[in-house]
Structure 1
Amino acid sequence: MSGGATETTKSIVDIHDEAGPLDVTREFGVLKVGLQKMFDQITAVLPVEPDPSTDEFASYGVEGGPKGSLNAFVGPEVDWMIHSWIGNPSIGFTNLHLTAYLGPHTYVPHLGIAVGTIPDYWYFVDYVPRVDLLARPDYLDRYYEPHNAEFMAIREDPNFSPFVSQTLYVRQAVSNTALCCVVKRTDDAVDKMLRLAQGRVDAWLDHLKAGDPVPKSERAALAERDLLVRRTVADRDPANVIGVRFFGEEMTERLVRALWAGDRRIPSPDGSKARIG
């Protein structure tokens, strides 16, 4: 493609290690505020409460070194929402997540956002499908086609290098309109990243308001599929090695379990109390 950036095929770990340390405290703060605004916007529409299983991870780490915060939320329409960050801004690595897995009452895709620094910017925004997209072209047209032009435009942006994971499952888990990139540290990069993510959040909430109900007879199977996808994505994330480097094997295993709700205290919603979606 003329004008577009070349693909990035190195792992996130390798990119970070080769780049060397760089203080990204300012950029981390801007990204953190941006994701907080989106979290507040979403939870104004989808009421949630904290799941006590992640209370111990609200703040962890050591002063002057790597730290993190992981908070999980549930609600009548939300099976499992994660609002988290991990990293050490003083050396250039940060990773912030905002993910929302919906309950089985709706076919609206789940929302996934991950942004951070390596110390260039790491950027991922996608909708996680609830159905087989090859067999449901109507679903593809409804939720993904509206973002196709934006996806193609980003492929032409020389500052947004398409990130190609070395892990096959991760590549399979990413949709064909996902914004999955390593972004150059330009003056407007963070603003553009947050603006694009905001657009996806706005559209996602509109989809929820429009509704895509699941028959009661199909909800149990959908919930089982959702859990399998969420757990496998968390378990197979190649960036988990960063957690091991920062906090050790045992702590990383506990954090990964929290990402997929391995120790949840509040039961998953069955959809009977959902008011939207």
Structure 2
Amino acid sequence: MTDTTKSIAQMVAERPSVNNQELFDALWGITTELKEKVFARFALNPDPCSAKFQPYGGEDKPSGFLSTFAGPEIDWLVYSWVGTPGTSFTNMHLTINVGAQVKIPHFGFALGTAPDIFMYMDYLPRVDFWADATYADKYLLPANERFLQLRNDGRFSPFVSQDMSMRLYQSPTSHCYMVTPNDETLTLIRETAHEMLDRWLDWFDDAEPVPEAQRPALAARDLYMRQTICERDPANAIADRLFGKAMADELVKTLWGGNRTLKRVN
């Protein structure tokens, strides 16, 4: 299958009235399975900044659910969905930013409909690969076999963002595809998602602590990275259209933690 270079907005505009409620439920189910694994492993507290978005929107209108959490080991976790399941577009996230006490990658995960399946799964690096090749060997090489499997699977069309910065923020083993939904592709997506998360959870068991003197710089880098990705996401234009720019801006700020209440722990 050839690369997909159309934007999410373009694909939705071409097929705006596909009822994806059943598919949305299946994808949200996968996201929730991962979320439950994470919550079984870490102590996490909800941040009050997202309470008013649980849910938002309304019946027969664009709607969503946005929850944010933090804890001693996790600096920021987002578990959310947004869209119109009855009319093509949805987007859901489980993004997990690690605290600065260890340097394992952050966990990036998104599924959605546009109206076919959009999938994104990645380990977001905390260092410059050019300056630390051993980090890439340790944390990306284990994901390389699955990366090649999906890249060679004609049912998975690599999604190439028109936005340069979105391409910049992906690792060399990022899974970013458009996929035609069926039982087989859904099973493979679920299998890959659990494999990615289980490997990421295992890294905590032998993670070496970051020296305390280095933690403030790492925490500042993490926050800048998270804010930049959220604010530059071209899909924000869809939120502007669905909810108006003022509310969309508030949602984006909540996503990256710009109005968080819980203190960061490093």
> Shorter-chain TM-score category?
over 0.9
Aligned residues: 266
Which of 1 and 2 has higher RCO (CA within 8 Å, sep 6+)? 1
- Alignment map for 1:1-277 (pairs within 5 Å): 5-270=1-266
Name the CA distance, whole Å, in 1 between partners of 2:130 and 2:208.
19
1:201-233 CA-partner distances (Å, limit 9, x unpaired): 000000111213211010000000000000000
Match of 1:274 in 2: none
TM-score, reference length from structure 2:
0.98
1:240-271 CA-partner distances (Å, limit 9, x unpaired): 0111111000000000000110000011112x
The 4+ residue runs of structure 1 with deviation greater than 6 A are none
- 1:21, distance to aligned residue in structure 2 (A): 1.1
- 1:90, distance to aligned residue in structure 2 (A): 0.5
Amino acid at match of 2:66: L
SS in 1 for 2:160: coil
1:15-59 CA-partner distances (Å, limit 9, x unpaired): 111123111111111111211111110111111010001111110
Using the TM superposition, name which of 60-69 and 247-256 deviates more. 60-69
- 1:194, distance to aligned residue in structure 2 (A): 1.5
- For structure 1, the 5+ residue unaligned runs are 271-277
1:177-197 CA-partner distances (Å, limit 9, x unpaired): 000001112332222112101
- 1:152, distance to aligned residue in structure 2 (A): 1.1
Name the CA distance, whole Å, in 1 between partners of 2:183 and 2:102.
40
Name the CA distance, whole Å, in 2 between partners of 1:224 and 1:240.
24
1:91-110 CA-partner distances (Å, limit 9, x unpaired): 01111100000110000000
SS in 2 for 1:134: coil
Amino acid at match of 1:195: E
Amino acid at match of 1:25: Q
Name the CA distance, whole Å, in 2 between partners of 1:199 and 1:140.
18
- For structure 2, the 5+ residue unaligned runs are none
- 1:199, distance to aligned residue in structure 2 (A): 0.4
- 1:87, distance to aligned residue in structure 2 (A): 0.7
Q: Over the residues paired in the alignment, what is the CA RMSD in angstroms? A: 0.8
